[in-house]
Amino acid sequence: MTAFGSEPQALADLGWRGWRRVVFRTARTMVNMETSLRCAGVAFFGLLSIFPSIAIVVLLVGLLGSRPFLVEQMARLSMFMPEIAFTVIMGQLDKLLSQPPRGLGIGLAISVIIALWSGSRGVHALIYAASAAYYESVQRNFIIASLLSLLVTVLSAVFLIVVMAVIAAIPIAISYFPVPEGVERILIGLRWPLLTGLAITAFSLLYRFAIPRPPGCRRQVLPGAILASLLWLTVCMAFSLYVESFGQFEASFGSLAAAVVLLFWLYISAQVFVLGAAFNAEIELRLSHD
C-alpha cells in the first residue's frame, strides 16, 4: 500500500479496456446536470467568501505586518486567475488598505465570521459534490460534517499562504544571493514543480479525509489528485489567456463582468476537483469488479 492508499500494480492491471471504461464513466458523471448544479453552488459560496477573506489578510497585515509586502505577494497570484477578476480583487485590496487603522480589530472579527461561514458552506458543498461521484451513500453526523468543513476552510487558507510563500521565496532568495542568469531561470522554473507537488498533496489529502467513504474500503486518491492538479493548473492559465485575449465579458455583462468571470473561474475549479473524485471512484469500481 502506498501512503495514500493506491496500489500501482492493480492500476497497471486495469488494461486498455479498463481505463477506457473509467474515462467514459468519469465523463458521464461530469456531464450530469446534478454535478453542474452542485459545482455552481460551490462557486456561489466561494464568491461570497473571497472578499471577506481578503479583508482578513489586509486587517492582519494592518495589525501585524507590512502593507507593501502584502500588495507585492498578492500580485504574484495573478498567474492563476483572469486579469479582469484579479483587477477587482486588487481594487478591493487597495480600498481596504486605504482605510484608517482604527477599528481593525472589530473589522477583523466581523470578516473572520463572514469568511468562515461562507467559506465553510462552499467547502461543504464541494465535499457533497465530490461525494456524489461515488456509488455508496455515506452520511456524516451534522456536527462532524460542519466541523470538518470549517477545518478544511482554515487549512485552505493556510495552503494559500504556503503557495504565496513558494511563489515569493525563490525570487527573494535570488535577490539576496545573485546567481548566473541561466541558473536563475532554472530556479524560477522550479516554482512550477513545487506548486504542482503542493497541489497534488492538497488534493490527495482532501480526497482521502474529506470525502466520506465506507469503513474498510480500498481508496484510490492519488490518480485523481494527479489528474485534478495538473488539469487545474493548466485550465487556470488557459482560462486566463482566453479571457484576456478572446473573451468579450465586459461587452456582454458590463459592470458585472468581473463577478461573472470570478464565478466562472470558481465553477471550473470545482468541476476539476469533482472530476478527480469521479476518476478515483470509477477506478475503485473497476478494481472491485476485476
Residue 253, CA atoms < 13 Å, CB-side half-sphere: 15
Q: What is the reported pTM?
A: 0.74
Q: For residue 231, what are the contacts with CB-CB under 8 A and spacing of at least 6? A: 272, 275, 276
Distance of CA 286 to the CA centre of its chain: 27
Which range among 27-31, 168-172, 179-183 shows the weakest confidence by mean pLDDT?
168-172
Q: CA Rg, the chain, in Å? A: 21
Query: Residue 31 has what DSSP assignment?
Result: T
- The Cα–Cα gap between 273 and 276 comes to 5
pLDDT tens digits, one per residue of 259-285: 788 888 889 989 999 999 999 989 888
Of residues 255 and 151, which shows the higher confidence score? 151
Q: Which of 115, 132, 135, 92 is nearest to 270 (CA)?
A: 132
Confidence class for position 42, pLDDT limits 50, 70, 90? confident
- The Cα–Cα gap between 104 and 96 comes to 10
Percentage helix, strand, coil for the chain under 3-state DSSP, each rounded to 5: 80, 0, 20
pLDDT tens digits, one per residue of 177-203: 777 777 777 777 777 788 888 889 989
pLDDT at residue 17 above 80?
Answer: yes
Which range among 170-174, 191-195, 211-215 shows the weakest confidence by mean pLDDT?
170-174
User: Does the residue 3 lie in any domain?
Assistant: no
User: Does the residue 30 lie in any domain?
Assistant: yes
Domain count along the chain: 1
User: Does the residue 176 lie in any domain?
Assistant: yes
Supply the range of the domain harboring residue 132.
Answer: 8-289
User: Does the residue 48 lie in any domain?
Assistant: yes
pLDDT at residue 65 above 60?
Answer: no
* H-run or E-run covering 111: helix 104-131
